[in-house]
Amino acid sequence: MTATTPEGWLLVLALTLPAGAMLLAFVAGGRHAQRIALGALALWLVIAFAIALQVQRGGAPLAYLIGGWQPPLGMALRADGLSAAMLLTGAVVLLAVALFGRAPYATPRGAQETRAAYAYWCFLPALAASLAAAFLGGDLFNLFVALEMLTFTALALACLDGKPSQFKSELRYLLFALIGSVLYLLGAGLLYGAHGTLDIALLAGRTRADAPTLVAGALMTAGLIAKMALFPLHLWLPPAHAGAPAAASALLSGLVVKGAFVLLLRLWFWVLPAPVVLNGGTLLAALGAAAILIGSVVALRQERLKLLVAYSTVAQMGYLFLMFPLLAAGDAETASRAWLGGVLQAVSHALAKAAMFLGAGLIAASLGHDRVAALGGAARVMPITVIAFAMGGLSLMGLPPSGGFGAKWLLLRASVETGQWWWSLVILSGGLLTGGYVYRIVAAALAPPAPGCEARPVPRAQELCVLALALASILLGLVPLKDLGLVRVGAP
């Protein structure tokens, strides 16, 4: 039985505040949209922080019954450590990206509203609302709606520039994401037919490894990993993320794909019965390993900076899947480590990748191109950006002290403990390959400028946003393990 916890209203606020802000920005438009969005996102960060604090302090998940209706008829919002951590990450990244976008998406006083600025300031709170729905939702159908919200938001953000080349890749993304959603919905229908509820907490006690559950699990998982662009379902990600404007790419690669990840965790470690997880987890991890190795090698060979960073997302998403067999096979201690490692990877990748995409965008804007071979001189014009990019890269590589190191260390340790040492080889070679492509970029940026290269200076405020995100991904590695216990609250 779920009951509303005293601080449960925070969850409602986390969902309704950005949703309301989006509606108001939609109506008001122009300069007001920007003010509403910035204010709402700042407040949202406060709320996310308060939720994390409550979950951490109370050591138990928060819950809120919508309208007081008890599941299975009603539905609940829940915030365990996973939700709280992801919500906080989302709030930090969104606010940083919003501040970053103040320059390119400004509406000067007296100027007419422009399409890109209007869409940008409406879709930032929209993304916040979608993420809140995806992270807090306690009902599988409600999460379907959240997934669709994310899809629409991601699509609109990616098309912000209105670049002709972007429409095709976005259409591919939309179609693929829609198939993913429908497959997810199909599975949800089967689960309702078998168990008479879609409430995650209730399903947790009811599922068995019977035919409807298995089929539902396979369909929903496939749908979700299509949205996460796990190899070999990654066709849409590199062009979509690389072609989008910098601020949008940062949100897409950093946050949007994590929405489906949280759903996948909910499905696998709450809904599906244990033996299914044990059997299927290895397949997921094998695909993840392929994503790490192939994605990294392909990233290493990209000639365009943004495509390289996008392929790096394909590779880094692979790490998220290594936790599945480790969590299923280990004892409580190991499972807890694998859990923390996986979630930490999601969080640190969100921060680091957002920084790297923003940095790549600044570099491209300054140099007028993003060919890796011709990045020379970038470090002279925008040292802060290049440093931030390198810091993000260090975190992706898994070098200490960084969030990425913590994540990879925990996964490494869990893989050794469960005797599945082959995953550690994947983690380590992935780190080496990551080091390779990060070095390529940083070395190119440090090189002296080519003759005739004209680099425009970039706004310091934007550089600082990038630096803040990169620093956050590094500082995550300095947070003591005890404080990361937040993630363990309510873990499976």
Partner 1 sequence: MSFLLVLAPLMPLAMCIALAWPSARAHVQKRLWAAPLPALIVALLVGHVPPLVADAGGLRLTLLLDLPGALLLGGAALLWSAAGLYARAYLGDQPRFAAWWLLTQSGSLGVFIAGDLGSFYLAFAVASLAGFGLVVQDGTAAAIRAGALYLLLAVLGEIALLFAFALLAVGAPGESIAIADVVPPLAASPGGAVTALLLVLGFGLKMGLVPLHVWLPVAHPAAPMPASAVLSGAIVKAGVIGLIRFLPEHGAPGGWGTALAVLGFLTAYWGVVAGLAQRNPKTVLAYSTVSQMGVIGAVLGMGIVLDIGASGLHAAFYALHHMLAKGALFLGVGVALATGPGARRWVLPLALLLALGFGGLPPTGGALAKAAVKDELGAGIAAWCAALSAFGSTLLMLHFVRRVMDAAAAEPEGRAPPGLLGPWLGLGTAALVLPWLLLPVVGADAGKIWSLAAVAPVLLGAALAWPWRRIADRVPVLPEGDLLVLARRGAAPREALGRAILRFETLFRPWPAAGLSLLAVVLGLLAAMAARPG
Partner 2 sequence: MTGTDILALAACGLVAIGLYGLVAQAEVLRKIIAFNLLGAGVFLLFGVVARRGAGAGLAADPVPQAMVITGLVVAFAATALALVLTLRLYQITGAATVAEDPPEPTAPDS
Partner 3 sequence: MTAGLLLDLLLALAVLGTAAWTLAARSQFAAVIGFVVTGLLLTLVWVRLGAVDVALTEAAIGAGATGVILLYVVARLRGGEAEISAATPSRAQRALAALLALSVGGALAYGVLSLPDPAPSLAEAALAGTAPLGLGNPVSAVLMAHRGLDTLLEAIVLVFAVLAVWSMAADHRWGGRPGPVFQREEHGPLSLLARILPPVGIVIGIYIAWVGADSPGGKFQGGTILAAMWVLPWIAGLVRPPSVTDWRLRLMIAIGPLTFLAVGLAGFVVAEGFLAYPPGFAKPLILLIEAAMTLSVAAALACLIAGPPERRRRA
Interface residue list for partner 1 (CB under 8 A): 172, 176, 179, 183, 209, 214-215, 217-219, 221-222, 225-226, 231-236, 272, 275-276, 278-280, 282-284, 287, 293-294, 297-298, 300-301, 397-401, 408-409, 412-413, 416-417, 424, 428, 431-432, 435-436, 439, 443, 447-448, 479-485
The nearest distance, CB 258 to partner 1, in angstroms, is 20
Q: Binding segment for partner 2 among 37-45, 137-145, 437-445, 481-489 (CB under 8 A)?
A: 137-145
Terminal Cα-to-Cα distance of the chain (whole angstroms): 17
Contact pick of 172, 178, 209, 212 for partner 3 (by CB under 8 A): 212
Alpha carbon separation from 174 to 129, 154, 159 (Å, rounded): 20, 9, 12
208 binds partner 2 (CB under 8 A): no
Kindly state the helix (H) or strand (E) to which residue 63 belongs, with its residue range: strand 62-65
Backbone angles phi, psi at 116, to 5 degrees: -65, -45
Residue 437 touches which of partner 2, partner 1, partner 3, none (Cβ within 5-8 Å per kind): none
Interface residue with partner 2, options 21, 96, 98, 174 (CB under 8 A): 174
Q: Verify binding: residue 218, partner 3, rule CB under 8 A.
A: yes
Q: What is the dihedral of CA 397, 398, 402, 408, to 10 degrees?
A: 140
Query: Which tokens sit at 134?
Result: 């995806």
3-state secondary structure of 14: helix
Q: Is 368 in the site for partner 2 (CB under 8 A)?
A: yes
Q: Tally the C-alpha atoms within 13 A of residue 274's C-alpha that lie toward its C-beta.
A: 8
- Given the complex with partner 1, which of 47 and 294 has the nearer CB atom? 294
For 231-331, where are the alpha helices, taking DSSP H only? 237-243, 246-251, 257-266, 274-300, 305-329
User: By CB under 8 A, is residue 106 in contact with partner 3?
Assistant: no
Residue closer to partner 1, measured from CB, 26 or 409 = 409
Tokens of 102: 């103040």
What tokens were used for 60? Answer: 């138990």
Phi, psi for residue 79 in degrees, rounded to 5: -130, 105
Q: Which of residues 23-52 bind partner 3 (CB under 8 A)?
A: 23-24, 26-29
HSE of 456 in the Cβ direction (CA atoms, 13 Å)? 10
CA 437/CA 300 separation, integer angstroms: 5
Q: Could you tell me which stretch among 212-220, 241-249, 332-340, 411-419 binds partner 3 (CB under 8 A)?
A: 212-220
Interaction partner, residue 20 (partner 3, partner 1, partner 2, none; CB < 5-8 Å by kind)? partner 3
Q: Which is nearer to partner 1, 107 or 336 (CB)?
A: 336
What 3-state class would DSSP assign to 471? Answer: helix
Instruction: Report in angstroms the alpha-carbon separations of 39 from 32, 88, 251.
Output: 11, 16, 18
Specify which residues 139 forms β-bridges with. 199
Q: Are 351 and 472 in contact (CB under 8 A)?
A: yes
Residue 318: Cβ-neighbour burial (10 angstroms; 0-12, 13-18, 19+): buried
- Measured CA to CA, the distance from residue 322 to residue 285 in angstroms comes to 5
Taking the least distance from each CB to partner 1, the nearer of 66 and 416 is 416
Q: Which residue has the tokens 């290895």?
A: 282
Choose from partner 2, partner 1, partner 3, none: what does 428 bind? Cβ within 5-8 Å by kind.
Answer: partner 1
Within positions 159 to 198, which residues make up the interface with partner 3, using CB under 8 A? 159-160, 162, 167, 186, 190, 193-197
Q: Give the one residue of 62, 155, 185, 411 binding partner 3; rule: CB under 8 A.
A: 155
Residue 70 DSSP label = P
Q: Which residues bind partner 3 (CB under 8 A)?
A: 4, 9, 12, 16, 19-20, 22-24, 26-29, 64-69, 72-75, 77, 112-116, 118-119, 122-123, 126, 129, 133, 139, 141-142, 145-146, 148-149, 152-153, 155-156, 159-160, 162, 167, 186, 190, 193-197, 210-212, 214-216, 218-219
Q: Which residues bind partner 2 (CB under 8 A)?
A: 73, 141, 144-145, 148, 151-152, 155, 159, 163-165, 167-168, 170-172, 174-175, 178-179, 181-182, 185-186, 189-190, 192-193, 196, 303-304, 364-365, 368-369, 371
